[in-house]
Structure 1
Amino acid sequence: MPTDCLFCKIVEGTIPANRVYEDEWCIGFPDINPQAPTHLLLIPKQHIASQAKALAEHKPLLGHLMATAADLARAQGLDKGYRVVVNTGDEGGQTVHHLHLHLLGGRAMRWPPG
């Protein structure tokens, strides 16, 4: 794991996070700059820099992240709908270069998003 990666430090426990979910593959916690009433991040414990760096061997992990996002949405009561976002690369709005999913809900989402 890169020593300068913020999310790797959260995985290691050297930076605290309010973990609302954790299993052997991933961790979920609230975004520090929420863009919706519910805004959780779901990060894999394995460092993958971005969606663009995901390989065929990562398919089980990627599927697990999406299924876990759906579980978290149900647990958060987002029955009316929610959005799952993966920002990829600098022009895609990615600011932490460790793959992560944003789970946003609790309000109506607009399109296009930005």
Structure 2
Amino acid sequence: MQLIALADVLLLMDTTSDPFTVVYSTADRQRGTGGELLTLEGCVCTGGKPKPKAPAPAEPVKWTVVAGLALGRRPGHRVNQTRNVTVLSSGKTRKLHVRLIVEFNGQTVHW
């Protein structure tokens, strides 16, 4: 089996519009569960896209507020080392941690 560097995987995920297959391990520190390998076939990256080259001024965390309730905030994909991938056949979006990617398009990931 061929090896591919994690940096190359992230570059491919962020820049290509072609569907890919990714195998990753689950993990949940809060619940103490994980270790199951999941395969997502025919998916595209929908989160954590690279930002434009021009540096933007630093902004504080923006919350979405409706009727006084905070509904969410920016996911911080770069800081948290996560990506959102959408499976094209079902339309479902999954968040995965990049350090838990085991295979990408049939190639074993190393870092």
TM-score tier by shorter-chain length is under 0.3
TM score, norm. by length of structure 2: 0.23
More strand by share: 2
Which structure has the larger Rg over C-alpha atoms?
Answer: 2
Q: Return the structure number with greater relative CO, CA threshold 8 A, min gap 6.
A: 2
